[in-house]
Chain A
Amino acid sequence: MLHIYCPHCGEYRDEEEFHSVGQAHIARPLDPEACSDEEWGEYLFFRKNPRGLHHELWVHSAGCRKFFNMTRDTQTYEIKEVYKIGEQPTVVVQLQAVSGAQS
């Protein structure tokens, strides 16, 4: 069971009060009519499934019923941070470190 901090209630609650809604920060195309089928399909259906840090959208469904974002490690289940909608995560994958490891 995860112990999740709700940024709206301001306290930790049990996982059973929450629902995961999937990947966060998915921006709707500004002009959907101008999208190619591929771009629209990417937006609608294709989601990241990383091993490691993942930014997710959660909802405190049995509590204040507000949505918020969470950065979670999908390998260790460790919750790195929670932040409100509209804010940007502070814990992010270090791109340089990743590309350095690959080269």
Chain B
Amino acid sequence: MSDVTSTTKLEQAATKAAVMNQLPADKESLGQSPLHHADFASAAKRGAQKGGIHLSELALLGHLTLRCDAGNLEQLAAVEAILGVPLPLTPLTSVEKGAYSVRWMSPDEWLILVPGLEAFSIESQFRDAMPGHYSLVNSSGGSTVLMLSGDNAVELLQKSTTIDWHLSVFPVGKVVSTLFAKSTATIRRTDDQRFELIIRRSFADYIWLWIQDASLEYGLVIEA
């Protein structure tokens, strides 16, 4: 094994010490989604109930960015043992198991979404079990997830991106990192007419405004 893929005991101890639970210890301090001000909960009640675009937010999930060596079988086995599902090694694919989902981001990078309260324990398991040289960063605070569905969801994406959304080239499970209305987004097809948008926290309000504008002609239904 080369120097790059092996770590000393001291380095392993250091990476373990670096892990920190980002959630506050007292249960009363609640996290806020970057779309907190949009108040999807009451918009779902008083807004339109029929329309071509359905939008909901999966707020406060755990976002873990894993970088490791796709050729290192020990690392791949460790990831599979923790998540219960192997890393998707084929470009632009994703896998899902229960509440966990893993997206291919780059030849040596994956984005793992887990329930928000589990992020710390998953991260700790990685620190205990992952061999060799790797990086795992809890980037939960940096982005949020929007679910876009409805009969006109593809039309809205066609207006906002340069990607070909036809099912023959963009099947269910495919994931792309691209520009959505000029801001970076990771978009995954979870069903024929259902898409998952992972967007930057700082662009969340802009994209919320964009989606409202882009869905004017179809009708926008907010789901809590």
Q: Which residues of A contact B162 (CB under 8 A)?
A: 13-14, 16-17
Complexed CA–CA distance, A9 and B178 (Å): 11
The secondary structure that dominates the B interface is strand
Q: Which residues of B contact A64 (CB under 8 A)?
A: 91, 105-107, 109, 177
A interface bracket (residues with beta carbon within 8 Å of B) = 10 to 19
Cβ of A25 within 8 Å of any chain B Cβ, yes or no, is no
Identify which of B91, B109, B179, B184 contacts A9 (C-beta below 8 A).
B91
In the bound complex, do residue B106 and residue A66 qualify as a contact, i.e. CB atoms below 8 Å apart? yes
A62-B179 contact, Cβ under 8 Å, with A10-B92, A16-B162: yes
In the bound complex, do residue A8 and residue B107 qualify as a contact, i.e. CB atoms below 8 Å apart? yes
In the bound complex, do residue B91 and residue A63 qualify as a contact, i.e. CB atoms below 8 Å apart? no
In the bound complex, do residue B177 and residue A8 qualify as a contact, i.e. CB atoms below 8 Å apart? no
Tally A-B pairs: CB < 8 A: 35
Cβ of A11 within 8 Å of any chain B Cβ, yes or no, is yes
B interface bracket (residues with beta carbon within 8 Å of A) = 10 to 19
In the bound complex, do residue A66 and residue B107 qualify as a contact, i.e. CB atoms below 8 Å apart? yes
Identify which of A8, A63, A66 contacts B176 (C-beta below 8 A).
A63
In the bound complex, do residue A62 and residue B92 qualify as a contact, i.e. CB atoms below 8 Å apart? no
A62-B178 contact, Cβ under 8 Å, with A10-B91, A16-B162: yes
Q: Which residues of A contact B176 (CB under 8 A)?
A: 9, 63
Complexed CA–CA distance, A97 and B27 (Å): 75
* Besides A62-B177, A63-B176, A66-B106, 19 new A-B residue pairs in contact (Cβ under 8 A), listed by A number: A8-B106, A9-B91, A9-B176, A10-B91, A10-B92, A13-B162, A13-B178, A14-B162, A17-B179, A62-B178, A62-B184, A63-B177, A63-B178, A64-B105, A64-B106, A64-B107, A64-B109, A64-B177, A65-B106
- What are the nearest 8 A-B pairs in CB distance? A14-B162, A64-B106, A63-B177, A62-B179, A10-B91, A9-B91, A62-B184, A8-B107
15 contacts between A and B (CB under 8 A): A8-B91, A8-B106, A8-B107, A9-B176, A11-B92, A13-B162, A13-B178, A17-B162, A17-B178, A62-B177, A62-B178, A63-B178, A64-B107, A64-B177, A66-B107
